[in-house]
Amino acid sequence: MEVIKTKKFTERLFENVQPIWEKNHNHPFVQELGQGILDEEKFIHYMKQDYVYLVDYSKLFATGVTKARDLDTMGKFAQILHETLHFEMELHRQFAAEFGISREELEETRPTPVNLAYTRYMLNVAQNGSLAEVVSCLLPCAWDYWEIGKLLRKQYGNLLAKNRYAKWIKTYDSETFGEGAKWLIGLMDELAEGKPERELAVLEEHFQMTSKYEYLFWDMNYYKQDWPI
């Protein structure tokens, strides 16, 4: 008997998002970071903005804890929340210290319009949407950063010893983040199972939207965009 393999929902998401993710991977911010030639001021702008972004983003994992229906899922969201606050944000604190920026200054960063629009979009879904919607919103962040970590290591791994941003690449290419991203991908497939197309389309819209916000985030930092006043 012929076995028909149905495509996983995340395979569909991955295929359809390629034009956006390719733009992310080719963005000068990402490419120059990979080569270690990114302007220091642009990197500092990014570190500060990303720090306050992560304060809000980590709340989505906390929402995952409250919306989950079983202990395993709750525990895993709590673990990723912990890793974000104490592992990922530690990277930012270390870089900030290297660049002479205090922890207070990091925490007092005022989010730019793009940063604010991105986090408000996700927090709105966190407040009003299902767990599947929350996961579809936060997935591009975790997944595309893992893709970028792997890509930059492949493209510029031989230059890593001389790259002042090497720690960034090593963090996002790490087992910890790989595992987190893989778990979220698996959870997305589980949550999507049996859902009608009209609901899957909503999940895909969130996934595409936050992928586009990822692009805007790179761009905002590369051009150091901020409020006019």
Ligand X SMILES: Cc1ncc(C[n+]2csc(CCO)c2C)c(N)n1
Which residue pairs, CB below 8 angstroms and at least 24 apart, start in 80-84?
80/180, 80/183, 80/184, 83/176, 83/180, 84/54, 84/57, 84/58
Is residue 57 close enough to count as binding ligand X by CB under 6 A?
yes
Q: Which is nearer to ligand X, 135 or 203 (CB)?
A: 135
Q: Which residues are catalytic?
A: 141, 214
CB 1 → ligand X: shortest distance, Å?
40
Contact region with ligand X (CB under 6 A), list: 10-18, 37-45, 127-135, 141-149 = 141-149
Given a contact cutoff of 8 angstroms between Cβ atoms, the answer to whether 47 and 96 are in contact is yes
* Region from 33-41, 52-60, 71-79, 185-193 binding ligand X, contact rule CB under 6 A: 52-60
Q: How many CB atoms lie within 10 A of CB 36?
A: 17
Tell me which DSSP letter residue 1 carries: -
Kindly state whether residue 142 participates in binding ligand X, applying the rule CB under 6 A. Answer: yes
Q: Contact between 63 and ligand X (CB under 6 A)? A: no
- What separation, in Å, do the N-terminal and C-terminal C-alpha atoms of the chain show? 68
Work out which of 53, 77, 165, 168 binds ligand X, going by CB under 6 A.
Answer: 53
Instruction: Establish if 50 lies at the interface with ligand X (CB under 6 A).
Output: yes
- List 77, 177, 207, 222, residue binding ligand X (CB under 6 A): 177
Closest to 217 in 3D by CA, of 144, 147, 150 = 144
Whole-number Å distance between alpha carbons of 56 and 53:
6
CB of 80 to ligand X, least distance (A): 5
Residue ranges that bind ligand X, judged by CB under 6 A: 50, 53-54, 57, 80, 84, 88, 141-142, 145, 177, 180-181, 214, 217
